[in-house]
Structure 1
Amino acid sequence: MANLTPPVNEHDQQTGSSNAPVTLVEYGDYQCPHCAQAHPLVKQLLEEKGDQVRFVYRNFPLSQSHAMAKPAAQAAEAAGQQGKFWEMHDMIFENQKQLDQDSLNKFAESLDLDVGKFSKDKESEEVASKVEEDFESGIRSGVNGTPSFFINGERLETYDGSYESLSTAVEAQK
């Protein structure tokens, strides 16, 4: 069984209680249709399980298949520098079919980000490095497709695209 490498740390984008008994990590690609399908399932899980689950998102852009995956990941991380990672994350997944550079800038405007800072941060070495570090951690963790989930550090092999498979795996860890 594959283990999460490195473990969740302060560099990760995370939401939920750090004291939650279950930590769910997703390696995702913002242009992957399967990740877009998983997105509302994860949101539902977080709404229903509340303080029982901490959710971590790590970027795993499959750039050879999805030209906008890496720019979208960098846009989410750039938004995160203004405290709006999760808002941008949601907006990208919810508008996945019209992803392009213009739409990323429009999302930033609609989130009331400082668009100049956003544009600069999106192209910065710091943001590019964060996306690359997430991707490399996925490789080290045995990720070979998206979405890939880990629960409390162990790869979730039973995810089949259904809410039940995620919920059951979380319940088994509590």
Structure 2
Amino acid sequence: MPDKHVLYLLLGANLGDRMQSFRSAKDLIEARVGCVILSSSVYETAPWGVLDQPSFLNQVLAVETVLAPLDILSCILSIEKELGRVRLERWAARMIDIDMLYYDDLVLDVSHLTIPHPRLQDRRFTLAPLAEISPEFCHPLLKRTNQQLLSDCPDDSSVFIFS
């Protein structure tokens, strides 16, 4: 039997029926990546990077998977495309965005994938849902828990529980 790993994914959307996009993404993740074992609340968050756009919904999922990180990346890029993601501009409005935050305590830096996510400690919209479901998980490079990272986060943008 293959080894099981715990993967943390961040869902984000600010176009269309955002909750439906999350439901569809979660279903496809379950079918193609692995079993969702924890889901955070859904948070409404201010846009980040490009500010002149609608607010986002964000949610973190913990997924138990047997897939390797690059296989997961391929799956989530396919899911994003299937759900209407079009990549035109960095940090632009989108139907769905799926980011890999952690994969166990793996540290990986290849040309198109960095784990842990290189900016998660700077983003309140990532840390709030992450700390909700896994407050004591320790960032393998920064050696701080998700809760500590949230407490020290320099980002002061608004993040509120949506549902």
Scaled by the length of structure 2, what TM-score is found?
A: 0.32
* Higher relative helix content: 1
Scaled by the length of structure 1, what TM-score is found?
A: 0.30
* Higher relative strand content: 2
